[in-house]
Structure 1
């Protein structure tokens, strides 16, 4: 297993931006908010809730699913790899970006009694190992983990 593999569960911050290229390839990008609950320490110190933002990049078979079904506010599980890159902005300043390149995107359910919102169908997801087969898999909450990066965003836009 690769050390940079992550599973994130969070809410989509805005509708995905999907771009198509002349080659027929497509890429989708969207921000994902993950939150860590606040808590109170034994000494009474209150630690507030913390929300981190992640840049999600989706390619290949997952783009069609994301374009059709994923919307702002959707609760999704993203499995992928952490990628870091840099570029020079218009002023020649080097900028660094951390992205999650998704291998799999699917709706997340908070228990067996939950159903997708009215008008939404169960998630059809594919991964490179599955080819074009569609299936719904409900993730096991006890096995899911959340790895977060630092971000300046403190509030959710939805």
Structure 2
């Protein structure tokens, strides 16, 4: 039987997995909250396990926040363009849902890169595709990271602990 602390921790970890597929929700922070609830109020999670979960949770947070920007930057997209694209995607999330994030990212990068003096249509399109693909890839990576935290919690804390 699960106690209240384990249920809260498990609920936060499950919420983190769900949040990982919704743009703009801090899934890494939710997962870390679940782990720390267990560590602070539970039956004594080992310190090595807490450290492992913390590293994975922080990695998920960094990938979530900067994955798309890193991919766009790797193709030569400016920091300004990347930030504006992220803001446009966030605004369009509330208008068009998840497809709005993709359209906002792609359209903003394409249009702003097209306005740059040294960019042609083909290069602007390529940068927009790379930034959008990077955002999608970072979403997959975040999902896998927080899902691994949930699986690790289930195995090492609930089952073996």
Larger-gyration structure (1/2): 2
More strand by share: 1
TM class, shorter-chain normalised? under 0.3
More helix by share: 2
Give the TM-score normalised by the residue count of structure 2. Answer: 0.23
Give the TM-score normalised by the residue count of structure 1. Answer: 0.23
